[in-house]
Chain A
Amino acid sequence: MTAYPRGIAHGLWSCVICGQVANSGATSSAIPCGRCGSLVTDRRPGSSEKTLAWLTAGIILYVPANVLPVMHTHSVKGDEDSTIVGGILEFWQGGSWDIATLIFVASVAVPVTKFIALGLLLWSARWRSTWARHERAKLYRFVESIGYWSMLDVVVVAITCSLLQFRGLADAEPRPGILFFCCVVVSTMMAAMSFDPRLIWDSPVTSR
């Protein structure tokens, strides 16, 4: 593996806001950026812990998001509470396999992928692993890019509930589950944002 020269080894830090490189000199605490004035540190402070905290919160919130009903529909056929997985199964059994797949990807596949990917990144960064660093970097970019697609489910519920309002015949209202799901999406996005991808490259081999 080619050892690129690393700024951190020469006391050069970069500002995460404007990208300006600053010479930290002898200090180890944050210094103000010479161009934009924001604090510049060698790595994002507490990146791993923040990511871990947000990831943990996301995983915890994912349980009620799936267990609690996300939407309540009332029609002449009767009242019905539907959960995320229940809705997917209903669409699938009803023959709408395309919609079922879409909702499955948005509300199950994406969050679970993010949990696994972020967990993997955190774990490998913690042990300063040198394993598959390029792939891990790609994985991080992928996680960042797919994050907001999970909001699809929230949008579906919001639009359905606002449109389906025929009093007496059929109406729908959101249920607490969708709030938890929304929190899951926000938490995973925060986790992805908190992660400092430069940690991938802070392996002992290159830092030495």
Chain B
Amino acid sequence: MNASDPTLERHKSGMRLVWVVPIAAAVVGIILLVNTWRERGPTVTITFENGEGLEVGKTLVKYRNVTIGRVSQVKLDADRTHVEVVADLAKSAADLAADGTHFWVVRPRIGVGWATGLDTLLSGAYIGVESGAGGAKRTQFSGMESPPPLPHRAAGRQLVLEATELGSVSVGAPVYFRRFHVGQVIDEYLDDKSHAARIVLFIDAPHDQAITRATRFWNASGVDVSINSDGLKVRSQSVASVLAGGVAFEEGPDVADADAPSAGADFLLYKDEPSAMAPPDGEPHMVRMRFDKALRGLTVGAPIEFVGVDIGSVTAIDVGYDAVSQRFPVFVTGKVFPRRMGLAYTTIHAGGKSDTDDDLARLTAQLVARGLRVQPHSGSLLTGRLYLALDFVPASPKIAFNPGARPIELPTLDGNLGELETGLNHIVAKINALPLHEVVAQANEDLRDLHGTLQSVNGGLLPRAVTTLGTLEDTLQTADALLTDDSPFRSNIEDTLGDLQYTLRSVKALADTLNRHPEALIRGRSKDASPTPATPQAPSP
């Protein structure tokens, strides 16, 4: 023990030096620990439908393709309906653990015209993150099953469209402006209250500047083939929109009273371009019509026309029962858009702006007084479909119009059941009106007279005609005998003609002599006067 005591002093100095090593190690360790603690971000729990491709310690959490965390735990939730994924995020990504952030599993996805997540074919799935607007901190998230279609915080504008039905528009479908691809459909859902289809669009900047209050959106899906007086017309936006559907928009007519979508939506989605570009319809008004005859061929949706202009459609057809007359009248309910009557409406409806049922009832009362009636007409000869036409029938009987009834009751005319039928009826009526019996009786009488006439001809006229003909034949035979070559009559005539010819020649010779020697009439023929060779010796008188 004595020997070891003095060495303690040396031990102390040696001890000080060597303890630097563990102290340095401890300092480095503490620095690392502090660094790790400082860089340690929040731990978030994300709920997914299934955990396909998620591996503890390997699956990364990526934001803008930069790793910001790692999955540390994958487990089933309490009722085994979902998968809970616990992920540790980096300190730099702490802001992402807030309201509005979306998590989804990036897997390979292929659609019409697009493919995403192909890198995960080899590397395995990872969890994608999309930051929201930023809100309250939270660590519990519900993961999305498909990625949000929008890139991170893209510049542009988000719009909500309201449509009566979804049609063939799907998430990711393109949005066209003058056939340029300027955005896409990012969501679609049914509104809880109005049960209208809502379609959320995202228009990329700067094309969102093209959207004004007057912009009209329509469903540009599929191919629109129309045949009109200009010929065959085929319209479509692009091959992709034919397959995947699409939405197009253009500047529409800027009108103050354009159809407004319900609360929560920015614009209406029209079913096609013509209806989108049509002037606004204004408020629809319900009308009711009673028909006492069967309306075969009238269907819900059949047009209601006013002097040839489509102003509404049939919404319901009901069969009623009239206890008094014991008949079954047909009650047709329809909605009409008076504004579709255009200038006619605004002119007649001098009131102008207001569009209530009362206004329409007052106007209708005037029109009914002037003979406005609803008549079913045949729209197509082939299908027999009917449409309802509001026409002025001046000869119609007066009808008491009740302006207080709601829906507005329009008087009807049953008689005019289709133009074709009417026409046929007219023809049949005319045929019926013809005096066929009298005509036939007269004809019989005439035929009898004709018969008598023919009998008299046969009895008297014909024998006499035969006798006459025989006499005529005898006469002709006589004439023929007279004119034959060897008949004495003919030779007599020839002799007479020869004599006559000779006489004429003599007279001519005398005339020549007298012409040259007029004195010969007194003195007689001189010697030198040579007689003409042709002149025969005129017999002396």
| B29 engages A61 (CB within 8 Å) | yes
Q: Which of A43, A60, A68, A78 contacts B26 (CB 8 A)?
A: A60
With A45-B11, A63-B29, A77-B124 as known contacts, state yes or no: A187 contacts B4, CB within 8 Å.
Answer: no
Q: Which of B4, B11, B122, B123 contacts A42 (CB 8 A)?
A: B4
Q: How far is B22's CA from A187's CA once the two chains are assembled, in angstroms?
A: 9
Instruction: Report which residue of B1, B3, B124 has the largest number of chain A beta carbons within 10 angstroms of its beta carbon.
Output: B3
A37 at the binding interface (Cβ < 8 Å): no
| B29 engages A53 (CB within 8 Å) | no
CB of B263 to closest CB in A, whole Å: 47
Q: How far is B28's CA from A183's CA once the two chains are assembled, in angstroms?
A: 12
Contacts of A19 in B (CB 8 A): none
CB of B24 to closest CB in A, whole Å: 7
B274 at the binding interface (Cβ < 8 Å): no
Contacts of B19 in A (CB 8 A): 49, 53
Q: How far is B29's CA from A179's CA once the two chains are assembled, in angstroms?
A: 13
A56 at the binding interface (Cβ < 8 Å): yes
Q: Encode contact with A along B384-403: 1 for CB under 8 Å, 0 otherwise.
A: 00000000000000000000
With A46-B14, A76-B122 as known contacts, state yes or no: A183 contacts B7, CB within 8 Å.
Answer: no
A2 at the binding interface (Cβ < 8 Å): no
Contacts of B7 in A (CB 8 A): 28-29, 41-43, 45
With A8-B3, A45-B10, A49-B15 as known contacts, state yes or no: A61 contacts B124, CB within 8 Å.
Answer: no
| B26 engages A49 (CB within 8 Å) | no
Q: Encode contact with B along A82-104: 1 for CB under 8 Å, 0 otherwise.
A: 00001000000000000000000
Contacts of A119 in B (CB 8 A): none
Contacts of B480 in A (CB 8 A): none
With A43-B4, A76-B123, A77-B123 as known contacts, state yes or no: A54 contacts B29, CB within 8 Å.
Answer: no
| B3 engages A53 (CB within 8 Å) | no
Contacts of A46 in B (CB 8 A): 10-11, 14-15, 18
**Interface range on chain A: under 10, 10 to 19, 20 to 34, or 35 or more?**
20 to 34
Q: Encode contact with B along A34-71: 1 for CB under 8 Å, 0 otherwise.
A: 00000001110110011001101110110110001000
Contacts of A80 in B (CB 8 A): 58
Q: How far is B11's CA from A190's CA once the two chains are assembled, in angstroms?
A: 17
CB of A165 to closest CB in B, whole Å: 20
With A64-B28, A80-B58 as known contacts, state yes or no: A49 contacts B3, CB within 8 Å.
Answer: no
Contacts of A76 in B (CB 8 A): 122-123
With A46-B14, A64-B32, A68-B32 as known contacts, state yes or no: A54 contacts B21, CB within 8 Å.
Answer: yes
Contacts of A60 in B (CB 8 A): 22, 25-26, 29
CB of B25 to closest CB in A, whole Å: 4
CB of B10 to closest CB in A, whole Å: 5
B5 at the binding interface (Cβ < 8 Å): yes
B475 at the binding interface (Cβ < 8 Å): no
Q: Encode contact with A along B49-90: 1 for CB under 8 Å, 0 otherwise.
A: 000000001101000000100000000000000000000000
B194 at the binding interface (Cβ < 8 Å): no
Q: How far is B32's CA from A24's CA once the two chains are assembled, in angstroms?
A: 49
Q: Which of A11, A29, A49 contacts B18 (CB 8 A)?
A: A49
Contacts of B6 in A (CB 8 A): 28-29
| B124 engages A28 (CB within 8 Å) | no
| A78 engages B29 (CB within 8 Å) | no
B356 at the binding interface (Cβ < 8 Å): no
Name the CB-closest residue of B to A79. Answer: B67
CB of A36 to closest CB in B, whole Å: 20
B2 at the binding interface (Cβ < 8 Å): yes
Contacts of B21 in A (CB 8 A): 53-54, 57, 187, 190
| B57 engages A77 (CB within 8 Å) | no
Instruction: Report which residue of B11, B18, B24, B67 has the largest number of chain A beta carbons within 10 angstroms of its beta carbon.
Output: B18
Q: Encode contact with B along A4-16: 1 for CB under 8 Å, 0 otherwise.
A: 0000100100000
Name the CB-closest residue of B to A76. Answer: B122
> Within A154-187, which residues are at the interface with B (CB < 8 Å)?
183, 187
Contacts of B26 in A (CB 8 A): 57, 60
Q: How far is B13's CA from A29's CA once the two chains are assembled, in angstroms?
A: 14
| A56 engages B14 (CB within 8 Å) | no
Name the CB-closest residue of B to A194. Answer: B18
Contacts of B124 in A (CB 8 A): 77-78
| A183 engages B122 (CB within 8 Å) | no
Q: Which of A11, A57, A63, A194 contacts B24 (CB 8 A)?
A: A57
Q: A24-B3, A49-B14, A194-B18 are in contact. List 10 more A-B contacts (CB 8 A).
A: A11-B3, A28-B3, A46-B14, A49-B19, A50-B15, A57-B21, A60-B25, A61-B25, A64-B29, A190-B21
Nearest first, the 6 closest Cβ-Cβ pairs linking A and B are A78-B123, A28-B6, A46-B14, A57-B22, A56-B22, A57-B25
A-B contact pairs, 26 of them (CB 8 A): A24-B3, A28-B5, A29-B6, A30-B10, A45-B10, A46-B14, A49-B15, A49-B18, A49-B19, A53-B15, A53-B18, A53-B21, A54-B18, A56-B25, A57-B21, A57-B22, A57-B25, A64-B28, A64-B32, A68-B32, A77-B122, A77-B123, A78-B60, A78-B123, A190-B21, A207-B1
A interface list, Cβ under 8 A from B: 8, 11, 24, 28-30, 41-43, 45-46, 49-50, 53-54, 56-58, 60-61, 63-64, 68, 76-80, 86, 183, 187, 190, 194, 207
